[in-house]
Amino acid sequence: MSHTFFSRALAAALACATLGLVVPGRTFAADQSPIVIGATISQTGSYAVDAKYALEGYQLWIKEQNAKGGLLGRKIELKTYDDASDPATAVSLYERLIDQDHVDFIVGPYSSAITAAVANVAEKHKMPMISPEVSAAAPFSRGLHYIFMGISQSTHYVEGAIAIAKANGYKRVAITGEDSAFPRSIAGALPDITKAAGLEVVYSELYPHNASDYSAVVAKIKESNADALLSISYFPDAIGMLRALKQANVAPKLVYFAVGPTELNFGKEAGKDADGVLATTNWSANLKTPNNAEFASDFSTTYGTPADYHAAANYASLEVLGAAILHAKALDQEKVRDFMANTKMRTVLGNYEVDPATGLQLGYTSLTLQWQGGKQYIVAPAAMAERKAIVPFADWSKR
Partner 1 sequence: MHLELAAQLTIDGLLLGGVFALAALGLNVIFGVTRIVNLAHGEIIVLAALCASVAFQQRGITPIAMLPFAFVGGAVLGAILERIVFQRLPSDPAGAETTSLLLTFGVAYFIVGFSLAVFTGDFRSTPYLTSGLQLGPISIGESRLVAFVAAIAIAGALAVLLRATPIGRALRAASQNLEGARACGIDIGRMRTISFALGSGVAAAAGSLFSMIYAVNPDSGSQFTLLSFSVVALGGLGSYAGTLLGAAILGLAVSFAGFFGSAQLGQVMPYVIFIAVLLFRPNGILGKGAA
DSSP assignment of 24-67 equals: HHHHHHHHHSPEEEEEEE--SSTTHHHHHHHHHHHHHHHHHHHH
Identify which of residues 34 and 45 has a Cβ nearer to partner 1 in the complex.
45
Q: What distance in Å separates the CA atoms of residue 366 and residue 258, rounded to the nearest whole number?
A: 11
Check: CB of residue 117 under 8 Å from CB of residue 90.
yes
Identify which of residues 249 and 286 has a Cβ nearer to partner 1 in the complex.
249
Provide the minimum distance between the beta carbon of 265 and partner 1 in the complex, in angstroms, as a whole number.
6
Q: What distance in Å separates the CA atoms of residue 194 and residue 198, rounded to the nearest whole number?
A: 6
Provide the minimum distance between the beta carbon of 204 and partner 1 in the complex, in angstroms, as a whole number.
11
Radius of gyration of the chain (CA): 25
The interface with partner 1 within residues 254-283 (CB under 8 A) comprises 265, 268-273
Identify which of residues 235 and 339 has a Cβ nearer to partner 1 in the complex.
235
394 binds partner 1 (CB under 8 A): no
Determine the interface stretch with partner 1 among 43-51, 58-66, 118-126, 286-294 (rule: CB under 8 A). 43-51
Identify which of residues 104 and 308 has a Cβ nearer to partner 1 in the complex.
308
- Considering CB under 8 A, how many residues would be counted as binding partner 1? 40
225 binds partner 1 (CB under 8 A): no
Q: What distance in Å separates the CA atoms of residue 393 and residue 278, rounded to the nearest whole number?
A: 10
Determine the interface stretch with partner 1 among 116-124, 245-253, 316-324, 331-339 (rule: CB under 8 A). 245-253
Q: What distance in Å separates the CA atoms of residue 49 and residue 52, rounded to the nearest whole number?
A: 6
Q: What distance in Å separates the CA atoms of residue 303 and residue 364, rounded to the nearest whole number?
A: 25
Q: What distance in Å separates the CA atoms of residue 379 and residue 184, rounded to the nearest whole number?
A: 25
In this chain, which of 109, 240, 252, 350 binds partner 1, going by CB under 8 A? 240
Residues that bind partner 1 (CB under 8 A): 44-46, 48-49, 52, 176, 179, 205-208, 210-213, 215-217, 219-220, 223, 235-236, 239-240, 243-244, 246-249, 265, 268-273, 396
